[in-house]
Structure 1
């Protein structure tokens, strides 16, 4: 059973307007532009337009924002699907392919991605999408002056959180952790990093239809999170305030107001840091601390390009986006991590970007964002799915509920949500 998608009136109006523009462009006397619908906005949108300036045909870019699935469904119903879309979850690629909405695509000979990523965009042994942007989601951000010694492993992180939390309660100093728990994906990023460290095999199986969401791997990961998140003074303003804090505000708490010391955040955090950084000191990162020194497995997310069925020029544009030099304008500006391992490391203009790209190419450590692989509404969005369940778990453990009871509640809800979405137990 497919999930019901309720598109807002604003989304439907935007989709209708974009569809009318596409029809008008197609009926005009000039060259027909290729229309691309993207999830990006603000600086990411501007940089993608810079990339497309190098394409040999005119391209029109429409930003659908986070509601891109509802936007594209509305366009499909109206018969005005775009030529290309940039999708934030591999599950959307395979779902659209199975509905017959997409054309198969073939990357250029210059395209290669880390093992396991390409398979996420295939259906019935055909490739329907290509990765065009990656996100490194296993980074902890901090100012060097506020954290002279980085925690080498998980136990050291817990100990440092206890020490800084006690100091904050005693002297009013900064909290050890900033967390934008109002955005559910922030909490699933924490869960995924811990799960991939304590139970790598369990992580891989949870994306399958028969996943056991009440099994030992999930319980162990949640227990580890409860041990950290329940530390008194761990978060700015406490757990209840953290549940009202959005991700951008959490970044500001570290780099501007300096009310917190550490923040788990993907490489795209740099886009938020820029406008709010205070003074000459720049924030730096270290890998999420696992059970062993050197960090745990690497969690990555990504955006994939697809071409809609019957779209003239769509397949050609998708293929062009897989060329090693297509994203050079964005690479030069920074804030872009390529999933294409054939992009030269020297294309990155800073040492941080080069280091992240090298980490993504290390064999055996990379795993794709789990919540983005889940089916239907279980995948998470504001107020539903795994995002909402993790917010409930966070509320429990930061509000004094015993860890065993919080875990029992969370795993029961996870199993029910998985079953409702057509998989899991």
Structure 2
């Protein structure tokens, strides 16, 4: 390069840098005018992520607040790492109220206050540390549990009790990585609720009833009698995502699946899937001293982390996600053929489920007056993980040993129960209530 041309090149480089600096400056100013960028962490991936991003885009278009979304199947591990490093997301959507209240008890979460739409959510869907304390989370998505799925083109409702009595007719999978065993906890919770009713169920879920109480032991024993031998072995070796797909095989090896409403979206034949309440399929034992009939439910709870720098913008997003407009938008942007999300907001009409009668029935049940949260979801995380592991251990026992080994197994769970009440480096509180 000659000396004559060098000044022109230098001028061109300087001009390019000026353009880039101006562009960066405009971007920063635009971000400030738009309210900055907030970060959301949740477990939704695939088609669920696509639908949720559409909701976030609609929010950005209306409120001029940018949202960066991260979906991960390792939500618990990712969030814990970020919190410990001092870089939590603005909002995290947790699949259990127990994890949420643990973060709140250790001072990581901001109170939500006016974010909760007045009169649209019952206390069941707005976790607190104490019954009348401040709200630290809100269910932006809900699911119904205590139900049994089957192929409606092959079986009629009246056939289900006979099928249910045969353990070989159940499609069961306990596998789910680090949280394997949770489908079994769902079974035991559902059986306890049916056998003993809301009062006993709630005492157990809130830590007032011992794990080795005879009523709790009866629920385990009932479950163990249903899944024995080859059925138990098959359940231990099957991932929960694969279990129910067998319902729709050309020659299905099983006919029933005990699973939450969310599972329908993963079935290869969702239009053929029908459900019955477990109380109808498994028989309706009436609890002593009180009526049964409560439905078990679960939720995805959004929480706001402190000191992220975008608290007010994040509150605005939570207000939108929890409100009727955001919930309706979420349903409407779900891709055709995928299951639309269910809402815990009592003002969201059943009609958002379009002409899907099965989904409408689930939505109406979620607005029922008698609901109980999934007990293990509401328990302290340490207790929930011990419960999940105990389920796997119990299934692995030889049939002849189950009865003799159940007592010591429940005794070990009771020790974990007592240890959670003694506290530790990180407080993990028990819920004050799980039913309404």
Task: Tell me if both proteins adopt one fold, taking TM over 0.5 as the criterion.
Answer: yes
Corresponding residue for residue 163 of structure 2: 160
Corresponding residue for residue 239 of structure 1: 232
TM-score normalised by structure 2 residue count: 0.77
Q: 2:360 aligns with which of 354, 362, 380?
A: 354
Change (3 A) 1:197 1:326: same
- Say which SS state the counterpart of residue 399 (structure 2) adopts: coil
Corresponding residue for residue 264 of structure 1: 258
Corresponding residue for residue 345 of structure 1: 350
Q: 2:173 aligns with which of 165, 177, 180?
A: 180
Change (3 A) 1:209 1:263: closer
Corresponding residue for residue 52 of structure 1: 56
Could you tell me which runs of 5 or more consecutive residues in structure 2 were left unpaired when the two chains were aligned: 1-23, 287-291, 423-429, 431-436
Q: 1:113 aligns with which of 104, 121, 124?
A: 121
- Say which SS state the counterpart of residue 128 (structure 1) adopts: coil
Deviation by residue 1:139-198 (Cα, 9 ceiling, x = unmatched): 21111243234467xxxx3x5345x56xxxxxxxxx411100223111011111101111
Aligned equivalents of 1:227, 1:77: Cα separation in 2: 43
User: Contact 2:248–2:269 at 8 Å: present in 1 too?
Assistant: yes
Corresponding residue for residue 377 of structure 2: 372
Following superposition, the deviation at residue 323 of structure 1 comes to 0.9
Q: CA RMSD in A?
A: 2.8
Following superposition, the deviation at residue 77 of structure 1 comes to 3.1
Q: 2:143 aligns with which of 132, 135, 142?
A: 135
Give yes or no for the alignment of 1:146 onto 2:154: yes
Corresponding residue for residue 35 of structure 1: 39
TM-score normalised by structure 1 residue count: 0.79
Give yes or no for the alignment of 1:420 onto 2:424: no
Following superposition, the deviation at residue 327 of structure 1 comes to 2.2
Following superposition, the deviation at residue 58 of structure 1 comes to 1.4
User: Pairwise mapping of residues 203-352 of structure 1 onto structure 2 (< 5 A)?
Assistant: 203-230=201-228, 238-256=231-249, 258-273=252-267, 276-277=268-269, 282-289=272-279, 291-292=283-284, 296-311=293-308, 312=310, 313-332=313-332, 333=334, 334-349=339-354, 350-352=356-358
Corresponding residue for residue 70 of structure 1: 77
User: Contact 1:72–1:81 at 8 Å: present in 2 too?
Assistant: yes
Corresponding residue for residue 12 of structure 1: none
User: Contact 1:87–1:93 at 8 Å: present in 2 too?
Assistant: yes
Aligned equivalents of 1:245, 1:222: Cα separation in 2: 20
Following superposition, the deviation at residue 378 of structure 1 comes to 1.6
Following superposition, the deviation at residue 406 of structure 1 comes to 3.9
Aligned equivalents of 1:43, 1:219: Cα separation in 2: 40
User: Contact 2:40–2:90 at 8 Å: present in 1 too?
Assistant: yes
Corresponding residue for residue 13 of structure 2: none
- Say which SS state the counterpart of residue 261 (structure 1) adopts: coil
Deviation by residue 1:349-398 (Cα, 9 ceiling, x = unmatched): 1212211111122222x110011111132212xxxx111101111222xx
Following superposition, the deviation at residue 214 of structure 1 comes to 0.5
User: Contact 2:140–2:321 at 8 Å: present in 1 too?
Assistant: yes
The structure carrying a bigger helix percent of its residues is 2
Corresponding residue for residue 369 of structure 2: 363
User: Which of these two proteins has the greater Rg computed from alpha carbons?
Assistant: 2
Following superposition, the deviation at residue 309 of structure 1 comes to 1.2
Aligned equivalents of 2:421, 2:159: Cα separation in 1: 40
Change (3 A) 1:121 1:321: farther
Aligned equivalents of 1:111, 1:37: Cα separation in 2: 27
User: Contact 1:35–1:83 at 8 Å: present in 2 too?
Assistant: yes
User: Contact 1:178–1:254 at 8 Å: present in 2 too?
Assistant: yes
- Say which SS state the counterpart of residue 302 (structure 1) adopts: strand
Change (3 A) 1:209 1:267: closer
Aligned equivalents of 2:384, 2:401: Cα separation in 1: 27
Following superposition, the deviation at residue 124 of structure 1 comes to 7.5
User: Contact 2:96–2:377 at 8 Å: present in 1 too?
Assistant: yes
Could you tell me which runs of 5 or more consecutive residues in structure 1 were left unpaired when the two chains were aligned: 1-23, 166-174
Change (3 A) 1:209 1:110: closer
User: Contact 1:37–1:84 at 8 Å: present in 2 too?
Assistant: yes
Aligned equivalents of 1:250, 1:270: Cα separation in 2: 12
Corresponding residue for residue 393 of structure 1: 394
Aligned equivalents of 1:218, 1:252: Cα separation in 2: 31
User: Contact 1:198–1:221 at 8 Å: present in 2 too?
Assistant: yes
